[in-house]
Structure 1
Amino acid sequence: MHKLLLLFACLICLLPAVAQQGPKKPLDHSVYDKWESIANQKISNNGKYVLYQVKPQQGDAKLYIKTAGNRTLQQISRGDSAVFSADSKYAVFQIKPLYKDVRQAKIKKKKPEEMPKDSLGIYALETGKLTKYANVKSFQLAEKASVLAFLATKPLLKDDKTKAPADTLKKLTDDLLDAKKAGATLTVVSLQTGKAHEFASVTDYQLSKLGNKTAFAVAAPKKSKDVTSGLFVFDLVSGNVKKQSTGKGTYKNLAFDDAGRQLAFTAEKQPEKALLKPFSLYYSDFTQDSATTIMRPSDKALKTGWSPSGFGKIVFSENGEKLFFGTAPDPIPQDTTLVEFEHAKLDVWNYKDDYLQPTQLKNLKKDLQRNYLAVIYPRQANKFVQLEDEYLRDSYMAENTNAEYVLAVTDTAKRIAAQWEGGTRKQAYLVSTRTGERIAINPKAAKSRFQLSPHGDYALWYDDAAKAWFSFAAATRKVTNLTGKTGVSFTDEENDSPTEPEAYGVAAWTKDDAAVLLFDRYDIWKVNPQTGAAVNFTNGLGRANKLIFRYRMPVEKQKFIEPKDELLLLAQNEASKEWGYYQKALASTKAPQRLTMGKFGYSQLLRAKNADVLLYTKSNVSMSPDVYVSRDFGKETKLSAINAQQQDYNWFTAELVHWTTPKGYKATGVLYKPENFDPAKKYPMVSYFYEKLSDGLYKYTAPAPTPSRLDIAMFASNGYLVFTPDISYTIGEPGPSAVEFINSGVEELKKNSWVDGARLGIQGQSWGGYQVAYLITQTNMYAAAWAGAPVVNMTSAYGGIRWESGVSRQFQYERTQSRIGGTLWEKPDLYIRNSPLFQLPKVQTPVVIMSNDADGAVPWYQGIEMFTDLRRLGKPVWLLQYNGEAHNLVKRENRKDISIRELQFFDHYLKGAPAPEWLSTGVPAVEKGRNWGFETAKGAGL
């Protein structure tokens, strides 16, 4: 009896806890900011330490430094941009200001110099010592040594304004303004000894790879007696500072050779009011008192009117023999006699221009800074070779910078056709860094993508017309077809656009350019670039089992595969969409061995440089991405556990669905269901689509303010089914293709008793927005529709401009996403038939359009055409125009706004919820910024 009473008492005690659990809450718009993600994960070279950030969507992030065994060493609030030192003894990171402080400063419209500043943190992994420095603008950590350099500004103490006399305050203010122009304090620290050296008024700096030297430019404040303007080098070993160049001016592009024994930089020391300020190239091997000028403006070796460029990157070859830099024509000086309001302002469009004026204006800054690669040999009497020029202006250096050749490509005289073809036809050359000789690779221009092998021995490209990979051997000048005899296609087998299918791509090269790994649809091929001898590296396992094998070079690894390397191959099961990893040694002839395969998604692997330790994130639809450490995926150590709050909310599940379309095509999609799904109930369903989305079956989708897509997490959590069908296209029929796949998929799902066929919605953004607009002209099966940035009139959009890039839209309609397959005058019937505008009288579905006035991809007027025409027809239609916003919403406040409206809209039409005011009565312009229209309008209806 006593035992029974005790048991009963225990049960009573448990009841409140059980009652508290209850049903899980649906997600709401208040959850966004605290939802977290993993970012900037790193692993030390010895594999013993890891670091990663946990970032809320809005607010202060936290940096975690841990052992690979998951022992927490340090948590740094607001830690950011963290890196490990080469010897795996230190972690260096920025510490961002508090989010609330930055917000308040923005509210008070503080000037940039008055905004809260970053700090710098240094954490000693072995001792646990944490050192901080305030007001840090930037930092560099030596690539191969524990030496740190950073710039820090003088702090203006909060009490200065209240305690300092007027003259002192003025001096502090002047100092700050002077420092803004003149630079900041450079500190160079040996992390091992802790010894620090400071240098004032530094504007730019560069550490050598070995950390033995630091070059820095100084701009002395006015009337300074202690600081001299110029370029200096600090030797960390001797502690000496050596002047390399003096005088006021601009010093840029500081660069050491790998050994830290040579320095080069560009500088201009023209008078402040000079109209033209060309740069000179300086060089030092530290044997002379200062750097010498090895290339001046209008040097006789240069083309007439050319100078070294201040915008060209300076690079020494690995052996230190070659110095690469940029040259450029001297700019046309501004005519200072012109009065701005007295001369015309216009753009002149000419049909012979290589690029349309909008494209030129978009690229104006880049073109003003354009420079042309050249090489000089400081140890060979400054022998000079110009590698690029106006004709041949894009080149690529091999990873082995000692290589004789650079690869250069040109589309000169072929650029106008990009207006309708999208890309341009190119010719490629190997250019000798010794003689400047140009060796043509493909005499006939082709739409190809060229690359130079890491060692520089071969050029590689895929020829769209020949549908094969080719190599060009620098030594023999022989062209070899690498894949023509494999009997396998190396291009997109599912291409459904009226353009040449693209190649699946290059995986990697092996050491000394001995082989290149190429992808077909499923497998990886190992090909000899000299002979074309090819073997299926994955032993045909991919195609036989419908496994898609890919190889991604670990971030920390060099740019080629060593002969002894074990390769970790990412694999996806094409049918189940599961992801995993297989392993195979480069030298092995055996089939790859499976390490893991499951219902997860993986980030790119990070492998410790000197240890067999892997770092990655793993997730699926219900498991937030967290950080893991493993050696072979067999035994994983989980290091993080973010978004614990998810367990309090009604989440969702995801499953593949298959059906056959009316024309007999096999189709696939993903169906998302609420976690508390009950097959005895009926659910409203919203379909969201954009090309093909089923590969993301196991992708984690966090609730987040939307740029205009459907927030799957929010809708599924709130009792909706969400369906994302894959779409394949018939050329010339983008609209009917959407009908074929989307509507048939919806009809298939409607056969289930738990799908409410009377409460169906569709949502799409951009290309998906176009398809929404088209679908509602073809069927009345949808009770509500939402079209973000749709094109509704292909005839008016065809000749327009994508203002974000400045290019014409013609190529998109003829050859790429719109898939018409011809010009407007060749196929006007297809442009009209696929344009929703011409069929708008059929529309009966209430629809919201988002069309923003700064959209750089889809013309804003497309949404206006749709709205004004539906309005004239008396159809229920709304237009959301976010001021100054782009194609996809960027500002978080706007994303939050549209997220609320989107759910309100579908809740009203698919769940019968009361209509908010913005739907029922609208928001007059006089109430803009005062009334958002979210509340239910009393007594108002639709």
Structure 2
Amino acid sequence: MNRLITLIALSIIASGLFSIASAQERRALTVDDIVKWNRITERKISDDGKYISVIKEPWKGTAEAMLFDRKGSSLFTADSVKGTFFTPDGEFYIVHRAGKKVESLIIFNTKSGTKERVDSVSKFRLMDEWGPWILWSRKDSTLISSNLTSGNRINHGKVKEWVAADKRPAILTLSGDVITLISLLDSSNKELVKSRGVKRMAISNDAKNFAWIADGELSICIGSEDIRKIKGGDSSLPEGWRIPDNSQLNFSESGDRLYFGTAPAVRVRDTSAVNGDWPGVQVWHWKESVQFTVQVVEKEREKKRTYLAVYDIPTAVVNQLSTPDVSRVLMSDKGDGDWVLTLSDKKYSLEEMWTGRSKYDVHVTNVVLDRSVSVAKEVNGNPQFSPKGRWVYWYSYPDSSWFVWSVASMEGRFVTNPSFLPVNDEENDVPDWPSSYGLAGWNEDESALYLYDKYDIWKVDPNGKERALRITMNGRERGYTYRLEKTDREADFIKDDSDILISLFDNKTKEGGFALLSRGFKKEPQILVKGQYSYSSILKAKNSKDIVFTKENFETSPDVFLSDVSFKRELKITDINPQQKEFLWGRAELVTWKSLDGKELQGVVYKPENFDPSKKYPMIVNFYDKNSSSLFAYRTPEAHRSTVDYHMYNSHGYIIFNPDIVYKDGYPGESAFNCIMPGISSLIQQGWVNEKAIGAQGHSWGGYQVAYLATRTSLFAAIESGAPVVNMFSAYGGIRWGTGLNRSFQYEHQQSRIGATPWESHQRYIENSPLFAMDKVTTPILIMHNDQDGHVPWYQGIEYFVALKRLSKPVWLLNYSGEVHWPQKIQNKMDFQKRMMQFFDHYLLGKEAPKWMSEGVTAIDLDYELGY
């Protein structure tokens, strides 16, 4: 007996020693390692469910396509991939490969395992509805059509341009000045017309109708015989209007209508206004509805703007649907609906400058008849058409309710009420009306729409006759958030006459999963799978019950799994990051605490591998607003453009803490302080955080908050602040140069959360601006702010740097010249990650400071060295 006990003890010790040795063999991640990490950028399943395609792509390198059978066996791989396609029968798998100068195709036969490479491809299309047909153009403009099953391949000669019908094997081509209809059913070529200057062509789905634009004239060919023409100056168009060459041409689903663009006459510069060169002046006007800076950004696009018109083939009626007074036109029933929805925000554009939200006057306009009906005025919402065009609907922000308007009766009503069905964001913490939780969709006959509240899915009668039905029954009680899974990618409605697959999220444990709603909604959702993972959306095979999805957690890379709608079996298909086992890895834990004003809060602590609670670890606090819902997110290693890489820092012995923040209007900085500081204290009290080695890092909104914290506490040993606002006065009047928008709406109604103008509440702007308390900063600061930032004016970073430099406080600023709100070039992202880690390593781990920190690197020296 004693011998047995001894053997067991020795076995346990040996196992422990092996585990320690295994951990010692693994190493810490470097920046050069994380850029090689793969992520899944595409996943597909064949219609019959027999084959799965996955594209994986590293941050630095080319994308790779992988083909698997339903047993998980690898059948084929290809690199430098642009996209992949299955033929409807699943017999052929086509890889579209990118190239520096030309592209290529690889056609893989899934039955025989043979493959063919097609080089010098300039344009490619798989014709799903034709069967196994593909079309491509060579670099020399030769058009090729190929029936993959029969092997029949046709060279159609050199073609300047071509468009194909979606549902019938026919191609409209332009060769020289000749437009030809090619029918692949009978191998016939029919010359339709000779026309110079053809710019655009279109073909209906059934290949019965065609259209093209040439020299400002629109030609519509009906049945390949009757050609009707529309051109500038015609009485059917607004006076003086034209059909520009850049006009889009689109047939409706049936082919009975052609939608095209028109535009006012081309403007000519008034050369008599000045004698000499044209002055480079900008004239800003206080009453102009669109900020001049926005006009500059949109100038070239507006010059090319066209206005939607329609030609109705059965009635030969032309109707101008859009004008400069109409901002958007929405069609219904795939262009075959009797009405279009027109939205105009012109009267309200000026106030968008400070509200950040559009208001609309809403009309429905008959496509054929000269009739327009007002739906509503000053709508604070985003009006939409139901798929078949029977209803206009929107979420009304001021009312926190959904509104529907019947096209048949031309009457509207609210279908929700916050006191009974709270569809509004229950956790809204910005000084504005709450947003909605969204709409799942309509059923097929549009007798019901499905809406979300925080937890459940509701079936709502737009006619107001039936009481709203909570079809998920128990979401609020259990703390589950249920959402619809769109398993039929082609359907634009919800099939509520059959079982419905839904996702679930446990708000308490942060676990994900899937459930099944039975037909008729008589039972509570049946939980199919639930666990400590984050799941992607479901991708279902068209003609089988097979599904693919990814699942992940902080320790598990998101790989593709194959299952069926019962989830009784799961087969792991991919292993995209096998190299992970070579590195030290952390784990994520949910933590709770109370804010300084008594609110219950959550956050996530990411601990290093082999964490020992008897030791003390350096910690970096990284946050934006809320993160705890991402407890089971993998956080794919990468050279991030704006944040620390959690896995890399874990592997170097750092703890990462990401706390949730709840905001109070008017006090964004203090809200962050009230939430974050007690969270840090609760971790320090547990004994494993080195309170002298705590750093903070944030970018943009996070960058502002860490800058604010630096003025309120000396706890942090180092702070990296990316693209921060430090002066809310100057930032309020600043411009988001990427869009040209003025930033005032952010402070009055959105993220910056002041809730007033500077002249209404100047004290709040002072209190929330770190710039006015720079003398209180004791923490070394690393700023990253780029000179082409289109979100936060980069002079905010300059104000920050200059203030601290003037006070002789340790501060550095990284400007990646020519970059925007964050570095986009891989070399700049890698550089940022290296410097940020060197910064934290110096102040939190006591490592020697690199030259760029200790001495700096001059503008001349940077041409020859980087100062690492």
* TM-score of Structure 1 vs Structure 2, range by shorter chain: over 0.9
CA displacement at 1:565 relative to structure 2: 3.1
Q: Quickly say closer, same or farther: Cα 1:465–1:540, change in 2 above 3 A.
A: same
Name the residue aligned to 1:4.
Answer: none
Deviations 1:249-293 (A, max 9, x none): 1421x332222222223x223xxxxxxxxx3222223442xx724
State how 1:653-802 maps to structure 2 within 5 Å.
653-802=587-736
Which of 248, 263, 266 in structure 1 is aligned with 2:210? 263
Q: Quickly say closer, same or farther: Cα 1:340–1:524, change in 2 above 3 A.
A: farther
SS in 2 for 1:302: coil
TM-score (norm 1): 0.88
State how 1:336-347 maps to structure 2 within 5 Å.
342-347=277-282
Name the residue aligned to 1:153.
Answer: 139
Name the residue aligned to 1:76.
Answer: 78
1:557, 1:607 within 8 Å by CA — same for their partners in 2? no
Name the residue aligned to 2:558.
Answer: 625
2:728, 2:769 within 8 Å by CA — same for their partners in 1? yes
CA displacement at 1:757 relative to structure 2: 0.7
Q: Distance in 2 between matches of 1:562 and 1:294?
A: 43
Q: Distance in 1 between matches of 2:712 and 2:223?
A: 76
Which of 219, 226, 237 in structure 2 is aligned with 1:302? 237
Higher relative contact order (CA closer than 8 Å, sequence separation 6+): 2
Q: Partner amino acid for 1:216?
A: T
CA displacement at 1:21 relative to structure 2: 6.9
Name the residue aligned to 1:110.
Answer: none
Deviations 1:869-906 (A, max 9, x none): 10010100001111001101111100000000011000
Q: Distance in 2 between matches of 1:256 and 1:250?
A: 14
Deviations 1:555-578 (A, max 9, x none): 623111224332211111111111
Name the residue aligned to 1:292.
Answer: 227
Which of 188, 199, 220 in structure 2 is aligned with 1:240? 188
SS in 2 for 1:763: strand
Q: Distance in 2 between matches of 1:662 and 1:462?
A: 35
Name the residue aligned to 1:929.
Answer: 863
2:424, 2:453 within 8 Å by CA — same for their partners in 1? yes
Residue range with higher mean Cα deviation, 610-619 or 329-338: 329-338
Q: Distance in 2 between matches of 1:26 and 1:578?
A: 29
CA displacement at 1:554 relative to structure 2: 3.3
CA displacement at 1:338 relative to structure 2: 11
Q: Partner amino acid for 2:552?
A: S
Residue range with higher mean Cα deviation, 529-538 or 321-330: 529-538
TM-score (norm 2): 0.95
Name the residue aligned to 1:209.
Answer: 166
Does residue 838 of the first structure (1) align with residue 772 of the second (2)? Answer: yes
SS in 2 for 1:704: coil
Which of 562, 580, 586 in structure 1 is aligned with 2:495? 562
Which of 467, 480, 484 in structure 2 is aligned with 1:547? 480
1:799, 1:810 within 8 Å by CA — same for their partners in 2? yes
1:38, 1:55 within 8 Å by CA — same for their partners in 2? yes
SS in 1 for 2:561: strand
CA displacement at 1:333 relative to structure 2: 4.6
Q: Distance in 1 between matches of 2:758 and 2:508?
A: 39
Q: Partner amino acid for 1:780?
A: S
1:789, 1:863 within 8 Å by CA — same for their partners in 2? yes
CA displacement at 1:845 relative to structure 2: 0.2
Q: Partner amino acid for 1:434?
A: V
State how 1:329-728 maps to structure 2 within 5 Å.
329-333=264-268, 342-380=277-315, 382-442=316-376, 444-484=377-417, 487-531=420-464, 533-554=466-487, 556-631=489-564, 632-728=566-662
Q: Distance in 2 between matches of 1:137 and 1:903?
A: 44
Name the residue aligned to 1:164.
Answer: none
Q: Distance in 1 between matches of 2:380 and 2:276?
A: 46
SS in 2 for 1:359: helix
Residue-pair matches, total: 854
CA displacement at 1:538 relative to structure 2: 3.2
Name the residue aligned to 2:117.
Answer: 132
Q: Quickly say closer, same or farther: Cα 1:586–1:332, change in 2 above 3 A.
A: farther
CA displacement at 1:485 relative to structure 2: 8.0
2:168, 2:206 within 8 Å by CA — same for their partners in 1? no
Name the residue aligned to 1:102.
Answer: none
Q: Distance in 2 between matches of 1:571 and 1:577?
A: 10
2:401, 2:418 within 8 Å by CA — same for their partners in 1? no
2:555, 2:586 within 8 Å by CA — same for their partners in 1? yes
Q: Distance in 2 between matches of 1:399 and 1:689?
A: 44
Q: Partner amino acid for 1:686?
A: I
Q: Distance in 1 between matches of 2:287 and 2:582?
A: 63
Name the residue aligned to 2:7.
Answer: none
Name the residue aligned to 2:796.
Answer: 862
SS in 1 for 2:673: helix
Q: Distance in 2 between matches of 1:19 and 1:754?
A: 24
Deviations 1:325-380 (A, max 9, x none): 22221322568999999222222212222211211121123212322222212232
Q: Partner amino acid for 2:746?
A: Q
Deviations 1:208-245 (A, max 9, x none): 11241011233xxxxxxxxx333222111122222233
Q: Partner amino acid for 1:268?
A: A
SS in 1 for 2:116: strand
Residue range with higher mean Cα deviation, 795-804 or 35-44: 35-44
SS in 1 for 2:552: strand
Name the residue aligned to 1:251.
Answer: 199
Q: Quickly say closer, same or farther: Cα 1:616–1:22, change in 2 above 3 A.
A: same
Q: Distance in 2 between matches of 1:200 and 1:365?
A: 37
CA displacement at 1:400 relative to structure 2: 4.2
Structure 1 unpaired stretches of 5+: 1-7, 98-114, 155-183, 219-227, 270-278, 935-942
Q: Distance in 2 between matches of 1:896 and 1:234?
A: 52
2:707, 2:770 within 8 Å by CA — same for their partners in 1? yes
Residue range with higher mean Cα deviation, 43-52 or 494-503: 43-52
CA displacement at 1:32 relative to structure 2: 2.4
Name the residue aligned to 2:3.
Answer: none
CA displacement at 1:678 relative to structure 2: 1.2
Which of 205, 217, 222 in structure 2 is aligned with 1:280? 217
Structure 2 unpaired stretches of 5+: 1-9
Name the residue aligned to 2:845.
Answer: 911
Q: Partner amino acid for 1:61?
A: A
Identity of aligned residues (%): 34
1:187, 1:197 within 8 Å by CA — same for their partners in 2? yes
Q: Distance in 2 between matches of 1:657 and 1:480?
A: 45
Does residue 116 of the first structure (1) align with residue 101 of the second (2)? Answer: yes
2:593, 2:679 within 8 Å by CA — same for their partners in 1? yes
Name the residue aligned to 1:229.
Answer: 177
1:142, 1:211 within 8 Å by CA — same for their partners in 2? no
2:35, 2:637 within 8 Å by CA — same for their partners in 1? no
Which of 65, 69, 72 in structure 2 is aligned with 1:63? 65
Q: Quickly say closer, same or farther: Cα 1:485–1:664, change in 2 above 3 A.
A: closer
CA displacement at 1:89 relative to structure 2: 2.4
2:199, 2:246 within 8 Å by CA — same for their partners in 1? no
Residue range with higher mean Cα deviation, 839-848 or 423-432: 423-432
Q: Distance in 2 between matches of 1:343 and 1:684?
A: 62
SS in 1 for 2:445: helix
1:620, 1:699 within 8 Å by CA — same for their partners in 2? yes
Q: Distance in 2 between matches of 1:341 and 1:324?
A: 44
Deviations 1:86-125 (A, max 9, x none): 232222221233xxxxxxxxxxxxxxxxx43211122222
Q: Quickly say closer, same or farther: Cα 1:923–1:511, change in 2 above 3 A.
A: same
Q: Distance in 1 between matches of 2:441 and 2:534?
A: 22
Q: Distance in 2 between matches of 1:437 and 1:93?
A: 49
Q: Distance in 2 between matches of 1:929 and 1:616?
A: 48
